[in-house]
Structure formats: structure tokens, C-alpha cells
Amino acid sequence: MAPSYVLAIDQGTTSTRALLFTKDGHPMSKEQLDLEQHYPHPGWAEHDPKEILNAVVTCCQHAMEKGNAHTTDIAAIGITNQRETTVAWDRVTGEPYHKAIVWLDTRTTETVGKLIHGTGGQDRFRATTGLPISTYFSAVKMKWLIDNVPEVKKGVDEKRCMFGTIESWLIYNLTGGKNGGLHMTDISNASRYMLMDIKTGKWDPTICKELGIPMECLPEIRSNAEVYGKVKGYGSLNGIPIAGALGDQHAALLGQGCLEVGKSKNTYGTGCFMLLNTGAQAVQSSSGLLTTIGFKLGANAQTNYALEGSVACAGRTVQWLRDNMGLIDSAPEIEQFASAVSDTGGVTIVPAFSGLFAPYWREDARAVAVGMTLFTNKNHLCRAALEAVAFSTVDVMEAMKKDFGKDLGAMHVDGGMTANNFLMQLQADLLGCEVLRARMPEATVLGAAFAAGLAVDFYHRVDEVKDMLGHAGGWESFPNKMNMSLRDKEYARWKDAVTRAMDLQRFDSMEKKKKKAAGAHRYILSIDQGTTSSRALLFDVEGGAVAKEQMELKQHYPHPGWTEHDPNEILNSVVKCCESVLKQAGAKPGEVAAIGITNQRETTVAWDRVTGKPYNKAIVWLDTRTAETVQKLTQGAKGGKDRFRETTGLPVSTYFSAVKMKWLIDNVPAVKQGVADKRCMFGTIESWLIYNLTGGKEGGIHMTDISNASRYMLMDIKSGKWDQGICKELGIDVACLPTIKSNSEVYGTVKGFGSLDGIPIAGALGDQHAALLGQGCIEVGSSKNTYGTGCFMLLNTGSEAIPSTSGLLTTIGFKLGAEAKTYYALEGSVACAGRTVQWLRDNMGLIDSAAEVETLAKSVENTGGVTIVPAFSGLFAPYWREDARAVAVGMTLYTSREHICRAALESVAFSTVDVMEAMKKDTGRDLGNMHVDGGMTANNFLMQLQADLLGVDVLRARMPEATVLGAAFAAGLAVGFYKKLDDVKDMLRKAGGWESFPAQMNFNDRMIEYTRWKDAVNRAMDLNQFETGTEDPKKGSSATSLAESKKPSSQAVAPKAAPAPAAAAPAAKGKKGGWKFW
């Protein structure tokens, strides 16, 4: 009986498969086994050759069993395989010397660097081989094995070493192994060694000699369709001829029926590979493509050549999101998440985990995710990951157009990812041409089966493959639906991101480089209203926290870059927390001496004087919707961003309250009307709270304290009063602003809040000023850093307001009484610290709790070359770049969530180093030890990392509530509950003093690490230009008025894409003299 099937083996990067094909090309049965991936170091990727062989045999036998096929039913075996993946084994024992080095492995970067140094550079072998010198190809992997694995070197010297790619390893073993197995490769796989003369189809002795690879170690080159030998020693497979072998992409070219010159296909697998049939002509590329073999279907047949564009990571990017990041549970799930959003929210992922292949050929590139904001969630990242695959294909198509000199028409596609309809439509849109998906899903392995079948006359004509595709249903069309203007805009965003991914390999594995009381009053009630929660603590006369309560605060992100809070929710949570702590402590009426308030600064509320209702949600300090407002204020103005700095101590930035007020006036009609009617009241959070707690619309006090007022960008830093000129220029009526008071005096008493009624409110400070006081930094020259939602470092400069030339802020420290001395400070503000960890938890789902980040971060020795710059809302000090957005750079397939967690903590520490360096420039002196407080200081790993990267000792107060203690202390001083300023130090000592984290890193290592950070910061700049909104504001957003009025005029104007703002403030040009405090 004549054979009924061809057995085809598909040995891929992530799995091994076997399929039985009938005479009409129908896959009768199949079997698949996943392949374990080994990533021993960043950039390295390995497979176990024996696991591959065993999986192939198992899959073949199971496929035959499922199809009820016997040995005599099989006409031949065809093999298709992952290309370039390299094995070295012993001719005598048959055992591999080393795990297989996978095609996308980049350990050979240094080898490549040495080879391209000199005449011809990267293209020195291209005229002969059709290939550039790259980590991608087998020859450099062989050279690395010879140079770095002693057993391989010895095997080469003794002429026992055999090199080959996966089909060579399989055919050798299946035809007898050490007992006479064939050592051969097919011409398509051989064309990927970077050793074969593309025109003669033979090994080039000159290149082999130059690379130190003896030709006797290389396999014999055969065509893609001829009987190579028969299976021996594998049971039911014995005696079956092996008659076809092609690299996976060449098999797909054949299996897609791309037989004519000018036909192209793109395969979406682990990587993404586009081949264009150029017929008998080997077309040399000048656009970063590869000249390669298409196929040769017989020993004496014509050789068909091809142009190829190879993309390293396609399905592997999805696999990384699933296995490394845990953002999806299965690969198909990505389509659901990606299609849930209308765009990426400005996020672009360049998946250069193993460098960039065609058309760039940059081994130094590493994966980046750029343009992130606090609006970014996993849906956006999933969509950006699919966009990355599509954009990579556009890069290759554009290069092919240049080399071929004409448009290529429709593109045929195959591979696992083509099941994703969303991706296929996206691909058509971004290419601007029709995409044709074969309804035969097994084009690649069909190509291998077809080649083997031709060799044994199971199939008879080359064009039979088209009949097979027709029998399977032909092709499904995805037409282009995107206009050229939008396509060009999207492609420009991609190209920008690609440039940001370059030159990151130098930061891979830095570790490798380094080896070369008062009467009846018993308590002070202190309110801590922060960015992510509201808290209340009850302190006793010794500064001990008797009771505490906390409530999480809902975050609103209506558009990219926007962050809002509900003012009513804030007020209600504060009251509930206060009532809870009084109840916990059993505090009786009259036992609370005063209330102190500390708060998130700059967050701005506008409310109606008559109704007491807010016009709009509060605009949070890190919100960047005002980028366009900032640009208008700075562009062409004398002094630019520093036009108000001499008066206010601050640059013009989205950070400060004044631009938020101006935005509200310009964009929320109800606010504009309220200002015109003199009904609008502006304030920051302490103003809103004090107004409501002291009576609200029934006589509530409209005030702010001098520390919060110093953050409006409206207050004269020297006089402590609103500057009429700046207010007028910004269109902000001074009548709408609160009265400025000191940080420690009785402002009024609580009215209308039950158990709180009658308690005097006697202290208020912005959170960072409260921490300066609560940390006991009361002497000139002492400094503290608070790690909360953001990260804020303040240096007490005493009675001198020092202008900064290094990107810092001149601000108020504290003023403890209406007639007291004003203490000034230099401040460096970092937008995202704890917020970065929160983003990992809430947006990305990489951790279940904030505390988990420490465990994961310290489980790895380093970040594996990954650097995160958490510019979700731009970069604050010392850069002041609203155009920056978050990036994660330097990722490889080795990168795991542990590395991401460590990089996140490093970003907090590096941001603090930036600020410390700026402070050194402004003061002309080293600052000595740094006092720290805030929730993140509980992370011992971060504290030691901070000390190491700063190069100074970090002192953590054993009193964990320094910020809220500062507010309590200010209020207590005002009512005599606490007596003198240095009482705060006694409280800290009684709480256990300070725990020291000494610096342990040497200077050179610190500089290497800091260089990596500074490089990544540069890559985060100028990304806001790619932000896009994903919600139609006309359908309503949280920017809609919260007032009782239901008029349409109370809605905010829809956001506009903000142009890139003016350049950041200039760096320091010298030391600031005249300030002596040591």
C-alpha cells in the first residue's frame, strides 16, 4: 500500500510540534510540547539539546498514534526549525558540550564588537554571506563557544567538535547519532551561519579561518528537498526517510505559496520574519535587510533567493507580559485587553529585549516602555505590545520598498499570532495595505512537509502547494482602514521611541563590570491628608502616638496626565478618621488641646463662597494638564520658566497651584463666572479643610499657612504676601485667595462636627515642611528626605532665602508663630516615589501589596540592566520637564518582575541622588548625613540602597510618624501643650533616636550606577507629544462641575494635546557663595 502521509517536525523557540499531512495538504493529526527556556544571565537564552530531541521523538510518535499511522504509512519526514540556534557536540560521545545558544541570545555582543572593529565594519562579510555581523547569526555563537567553553575549544583542537543548528542536531541523532549519524544542514539554515557564500552555496574558507572555526567542524550543506538518510533506533520512526529541511521562515515562504518573484510573507511567531521572493537574483540590501536563501527544492534545482527582515520579539513580547510580568494569564487574553482601550494613552513599547534586528541591527538596544502616566494601565501596555509587533513589521516593509524599488502589494501572513484579529487589522492599518491571512493555519510546517513530499514524489509539482491552500479555504482579508496622516503620526511616535531604546546594553549586569503635660489637655489631634489616604493620629505630651486611623483615597485619572481627588471625599474621610481615633483612645471632651494639619501640597480646590460646594474635583499636585498653560506663560517671556523665580522662589511648572487655578479659570466656565462674581474661593487642601471645619459657608475661615502658600507660585518669598503683579498677570483675583498665616497659631475652632466641636485648629504645614520640623531639622544646614507618594528633600537654610541655580526650589521651611522668625529651605521635589510602587501594584498587578516590593527586589542581585524613570507626571527637580514621561529601559528576556521591582526602588534612590547633587551645587558644600521619614523608609532594602547611592549615612528616625508629628508639634506649641522648639528632638530621642544605614558602595561603582540612571533620564524626555486621550469628554468626566448647578457651562473644556514645553531650567554654573552654616 502506498504511503498516506508526510510527517512534519516543527521545532520552534518555545515548543516542539509534529503533524501528519495528507496528500491534499490537510493536517490529519498533531502533537505539541512546550520547551523550557533558560535565561542564566541578562541577554542570554538557552535550550537543552537533549530535551529538544526527546520532545521531537515524543511528538512524532504521538502524532502517528493519533492518526493511527504506522511506519509504512509515512512517505517521508520533513523538518522545519528555529534558525541560528547553535549546538556544539562531541563526535565520539554524541553528547552536547553546552546548552544550545538560542538565536535571540546577545552574549556575543563583545565578540561582535571585536569583529566589526576595522575594515568594513558590520558589513565586512555582507558581500559574501548577505548578512551583517550580528549576535543573531550562528558563526558568532560558535566563536563564543570556542573562546569561552574549554570543552568546546578542546573538542575543536582534537577534531571531535561538531557544530550545527537544530535541524543538524536532529538529523544527526535521528540517523544514528554517534553510530554513523549524518552531519548535515540544509542550504536555508546554512545561509544563516554567516559562513556560507550566498552565491555558491558553500562554506567560505576565508571567513571560517578568520573566525577560527575549522570547516571540518561544520555540517555538509544540502538542498531543502532530497533524501538525506533514514531514521535509526527510534521504534515506530525507524526506516522513514528524512527528505526535507528548511529554516522556519523559508518553510513559511514555501508553505504560503510565495513561489513567484515579488511575493512576500510575514510570519508572526516568537519573532517576526518577513521574506520577499527575489527569484534567481541575490539582491544586496542597502536598507538593513538580509540577503538570504529562499529555498532550493532539489540537489540540482534552481536556488530561489529572498530579502528578509527579522524582528527578534513578537510572540515573545506577549510571553514576557505573561510569564515575567504576570499582566495576562494567557497569550490570547492580550487581544481582549488591547481592544478594551481606543489607544495606548501615549505609551510606546519597543521590545528590544535582545537588541534590535532589521532594519536597525543594534545589539546595544534594550526594551523600553515610554510615555507612561498614572493613567496607564495594563490595557494600554497590552495594546502597546501589539502595536510594537505591527510597527516592527512596518519598519521592515519600508526597508523592502527601498531595496526592491516598488510597493509590495498585499502581505501574506501566518503564525500563531495571526489568530489575533485585532493585531491583524492593526497591522493592515499601520502598513497601509491589505493583509491576507491563510485559512490554512499551518503554513510553516506545511512548507517542510511539502519539501519532503516533493523529494519522494509524494507531491509532484511545486505549485501544488497553492492548491492545498485553496482547499483549506484560501485567504481572509484585512483591509487598511487608517488614513495616511494618522498613520504617519503614529509611525513618528514609534520611530521616536526606537531612538530612546538605543545604547542601553552598556548597562546590562553592572555587577559584572564592578567585579573588574498641659493641665486637663492630654492630647494633640493631628491630621495627615495625603495623596493616597487620609489619616489622623492622637499624640500625647511626650510625642507618643496613642491612636491612629487611616482611609484610602480614591484616585481619578480621567485623561492621560490628569489626576484628581474628590474634595468632599477628602473632608468626609478626615472627619471619620478624627472621630475614630478619639473613640479608640476614649478621649473625653476637653482632653484634646488642639488640632494640627499637614497635607499634600499644591493640590488645588476651587469652591463657591455662597454654597460652599466645589466647582470641580481637586487638581492634584502631580497633574500635568497645565503643560500648555505653562508653555504659554514661558514661551517668549523674559526669564522663561524662571520669570517668577526671583519673587516666588519657584519656576513656572505644572506642579504649582497658580497654574492649576489659571487652568480652572480658563477651562471651567463655572469657575470663571465665580471669579467674575467674586464668589470663587481658591485654596489648597488645608484651606479647604479649615474652611469646612470652622463653619464652611456659615463663616468658615478662608486661610492658608505660609508653607503651603509658598507653593502657589504667587507669594513673595521674602515678604510672605501675595504678589499683586503675578496675580494680575495670571488673571487670579487676590480676593479669591486665602489669608496667609503662620504655621503655629490658633486659626479658629471646629464647628458642626460633633465630637470635634470646640477644638482649636492651631497648626498647619505642608507635608514636607511638617516633616522638616518633625525630623528635628531645626538648625541651619540640617536636611531631611520624606518618602511618600512623591519624594521630597528639604535643607534648612535658616533666615536666608537662597536662590537656586540647579533646579531646586526656594521655599519656606516653617514659621512657628505670627511674629516668629521665618525659616527658609531649599527643596528638591520628586513626583513619584511610593506612587511608583502603587502603579506596580494597582495598574500593572505585578505585586499584591506595597510591602512585597522589598522581598522581590532583594531576591535579585541587580536590575539586570533595567532602569525605570518614573516620570508619570513629568520630571520635577532638578529637571523640571513637563514633557518627560515614564520609561523602563534596558529590558531583556531575562527581565522578570523581580528586576522591575528592584529598578522601581532604585528609581526612588536615584531621584534623591539627583536632588542631593543639586543641593551640593547650590550650597557649595557636602551635606553630611540625611534624615529620612515616610512610609517607604520601612523598606530596609531601599534605605541601604539609598545610602549606597548617595555615599552618605542615612538616618531613619525610630519615630515613624515624623510628618504628622511636625503638624502636632506646631499646633501644640501654639496652645502651650509643647513648650520650646527643641522639645521635638527630645521626643525623637524618647522614641528611640535614629537607626543608621551606612554607605557601603565604593565611589567608582556609585558613579557607574549613576551614569546608567542619567542616561535613562535623557531617554524619558520629550514624550508628552505622543499622549492621546481615550475618553470623550463630551460624554462626561470627572472634570465636570460638582456644584449643584446642572448647567452645561459647568463642564471643563476637553483636553488638548500639549506642545512640548520650553527647555528645563539651566544647570548650575558655579557654587553659590556667601552662605555659611558649617
Query: For residue 509, how far is the Cα from the chain centroid?
Result: 18
- Percent of the chain clearing pLDDT 90 (strictly above): 75
pLDDT score for 520: 60
Which grid cell is 160?
571531535
CA-wise closest residue to 370 among 1027, 1030, 883, 1020: 1020
Judged against a pLDDT cut of 60, whether residue 1037 lies above it is answered with no
> pLDDT of 967-978, one tens digit each?
999 999 999 888
DSSP 210-259: HHT--GGGSPEEE-SEEEEEE--SSGGGTTPEEEEEEEHHHHHHHHTT--
Q: What is the rounded average pLDDT of the residues 633-638?
A: 88
> pLDDT of 343-384, one tens digit each?
999 999 999 998 898 899 898 899 999 999 988 999 999 999
Q: Is 89 helix (H, G, I), strand (E, B) or coil?
A: strand
pLDDT score for 374: 87
Cα–Cα distance measured from residue 182 to residue 91, given in angstroms and rounded to the nearest whole number: 11
Phi first, then psi: give them for residue 372, nearest 5 degrees.
-75, 145
pLDDT score for 1013: 96
Judged against a pLDDT cut of 60, whether residue 511 lies above it is answered with no
Determine the Cα angle at 323 with ends 321 and 326, to 5°.
65
pLDDT score for 1050: 32
- Percent of the chain clearing pLDDT 70 (strictly above): 94
Question: 129 with 135: CB under 8 angstroms?
Answer: no
Judged against a pLDDT cut of 70, whether residue 1033 lies above it is answered with no
What does the DSSP 8-state code read for residue 435?
A: E
pLDDT score for 515: 38
pLDDT score for 987: 83
> pLDDT of 808-858, one tens digit each?
999 999 999 998 999 999 999 898 999 999 999 999 999 999 999 999 999
Judged against a pLDDT cut of 60, whether residue 618 lies above it is answered with yes
Instruction: Report pTM.
Output: 0.74
Cα–Cα distance measured from residue 872 to residue 629, given in angstroms and rounded to the nearest whole number: 19
CA-wise closest residue to 219 among 241, 202, 244, 199: 202
Q: What is the rounded average pLDDT of the residues 912-940?
A: 90
> pLDDT of 989-1018, one tens digit each?
877 778 999 999 999 999 999 999 999 999
pLDDT score for 574: 97
CA distances, 1034 to each of 72, 776, 845, 887, 1029 (Å) = 70, 50, 31, 31, 12
Determine how β-strand 15-21 pairs with β-strand 27-34. antiparallel
Task: Return the amino acid letter for 280.
Answer: A
β-pair partners for 527: 536, 597
**What does R_g of the chain's alpha carbons equal in angstroms?**
34
**3-state DSSP of 564-601:** EECHHHHHHHHHHHHHHHHHHHCCCCCCEEEEEEEECC
Judged against a pLDDT cut of 80, whether residue 395 lies above it is answered with yes
DSSP 347-361: -EEE--BTBB-TTT-
Q: Could you tell me which residues come within 8 angstroms of residue 1037 by beta carbon, excluding any fewer than 6 positions away?
A: 558, 559, 1031, 1052
Residue 98's CB is within 10 A of a number of other CB atoms, namely: 17
Q: Per-residue confidence at 1046, pLDDT binned at 50, 70, 90?
A: very low
Give the residue with greater pLDDT, 441 vs 794.
794
- Tracing cell 468626566 back to the chain, one arrives at 1037
Task: Return the amino acid letter for 440.
Answer: M
Which grid cell is 284?
544586496
How many CA atoms, within 13 angstroms, populate the side-chain half-sphere of residue 801? 19
CA-wise closest residue to 905 among 791, 1059, 1060, 778: 791
CA-wise closest residue to 428 among 397, 461, 459, 471: 397
Task: Return the amino acid letter for 64.
Answer: M
Cα–Cα distance measured from residue 451 to residue 435, given in angstroms and rounded to the nearest whole number: 26
Q: Per-residue confidence at 1040, pLDDT binned at 50, 70, 90?
A: very low
Q: Per-residue confidence at 1039, pLDDT binned at 50, 70, 90?
A: very low
Judged against a pLDDT cut of 80, whether residue 686 lies above it is answered with yes
Q: Could you tell me which residues come within 8 angstroms of residue 470 by beta carbon, excluding any fewer than 6 positions away?
A: none
Question: 690 with 747: CB under 8 angstroms?
Answer: yes
Q: Per-residue confidence at 315, pLDDT binned at 50, 70, 90?
A: very high
Cα–Cα distance measured from residue 325 to residue 630, given in angstroms and rounded to the nearest whole number: 36
Judged against a pLDDT cut of 60, whether residue 1029 lies above it is answered with no
- Tracing cell 550545527 back to the chain, one arrives at 164
In this structure, of 346-360, 641-655, 900-914, 1014-1028, the range with the lowest mean pLDDT score is: 1014-1028
Q: Per-residue confidence at 271, pLDDT binned at 50, 70, 90?
A: confident
Tell me what the pLDDT averaged over the chain comes to. 89
**3-state DSSP of 621-651:** CCCCCCHHHHHHHHCCCCCHHHCCHHHHCCC
